Amino acid sequence: MLYGVFEVNIKCPKCDGPVPLNGPWEVAHCDRCQADVDIPHDYWLDIFRDTDGEMRSGETGEGEGANSQIFGTFHTTMMYGRMKPYCPECKTELPVDPAKAPYVHKCPGCGRDMPVVPVPAGLKEAYPPAAIVVGGSLQGKEEGGEEAPAEPIAFSCIKCGGALMVDGTERVVPCEFCGVKVYLPDDLWLRMHPAKVKERWRIGFDEKVERPKGEDE
């Protein structure tokens, strides 16, 4: 198994805000404008084909990588390279088992949990050598459920001063005292919904599976 490491960030096509892609998911979420951004399979296909090809040819050796900017489907800033999975906390190498995916691999050094999941089915069909995703985090519609409400926080109505208990499930909250609709300010909303940051994650490419050729090959 060859492991490609990635750290990917795109500009939101609606507001130009930064959107970290912490995994090869089909949907990402912009924390600035709250839009869900569809990530087409062809976007990941081009990245995986190039990365896997460089590793198989020996052009990119273990521990080597590069930074890149891509102007195409999205304005992308990316770090990529070849690197076996290791714990981001204690740097212990993680001998993950692709056959067990999905599962959570516990670091033998510090006990940190590292998710190991199969590549999404649609992307696997588009690029068969892509086998597993190690690390990263799920985003947008790929999270597989509604976000749990935050611990309620008291907030004063901007019109009557009444005490409102808000839990972050809605950005616009009706005041139970005067009936006005209160829009929660950015600092309070971000406290309940912390912005995502870039994370490094890996794709395991199965060397036994033939790479699909690109249009220019």
Give the Cα separation of 176 and 142 in Å (integer): 35
Residue 201 is assigned to a structural domain of this protein: yes
Same domain, residue pair 73 and 175: no
Same domain, residue pair 107 and 41: yes
Count of domains in the chain?
Answer: 2
Average pLDDT over residues 41-53: 94
Same domain, residue pair 133 and 181: no
Which residue's structure tokens are 């993680």? 94
Condensed to tens digits (0 to 9), the pLDDT of residues 160-184 reads 999 999 988 888 999 999 999 999 9
Same domain, residue pair 43 and 136: yes
Same domain, residue pair 90 and 188: no
Model confidence band, residue 188 (pLDDT cutoffs 50, 70, 90): confident
Same domain, residue pair 56 and 42: yes
Same domain, residue pair 123 and 163: no
Q: What is the pTM of this model?
A: 0.78
Check pLDDT > 90 for residue 207: yes
Range of the domain at 199: 2-141+194-205
Distance from first CA to last CA of the chain, Å, rounded? 23
